[in-house]
């Protein structure tokens, strides 16, 4: 189409883009969260998951640092600690999902 041509949209053409108005309507009902707002909400819902992720990352980082510096025993200990922290994080995630699902069912 050239810029001189008139663009007439039929109702069928506008129906294809109905999701745009739907999204605008949904944003007025439930505003979009920023990353920090979502993180804060999720942290308050289940604080053990981000704490577990942080513990896992710290154990991994320290374990890699000790491995590089030649402290083999401490490196092995930290890798086992990392696995334990990962396991507890997954357990916290599953527990949080279960509690959230049960609370929604009761409502």
Domain count, the chain: 1
CB-facing half-sphere around the CA of 28: CA atoms within 13 A: 5
Say if 46 falls within a structural domain: yes
Domain extent, residue 65, equals 40-106
- The per-residue pLDDT of the chain, averaged, comes to 84
pLDDT, tens only, 23-78:
777 777 777 788 999 889 888 888 899 999 999 999 999 999 999 999 999 999 99
Say if 23 falls within a structural domain: no
């Amino acid at each position: 189409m050239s810029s001189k041509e008139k663009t007439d949209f039929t109702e069928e053409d506008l129906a294809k883009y109905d999701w745009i108005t739907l999204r605008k309507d949904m944003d007025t009902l439930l505003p979009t969260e920023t990353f920090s707002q979502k993180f804060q909400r999720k942290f308050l819902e289940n604080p053990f998951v981000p704490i577990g992720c942080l513990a896992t990352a710290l154990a991994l980082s320290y374990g890699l640092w000790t491995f590089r510096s030649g402290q083999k025993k401490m490196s092995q200990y930290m890798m086992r600690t990392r696995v334990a922290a990962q396991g507890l994080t997954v357990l916290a995630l599953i527990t949080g999902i279960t509690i959230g699902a049960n609370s929604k069912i009761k409502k």
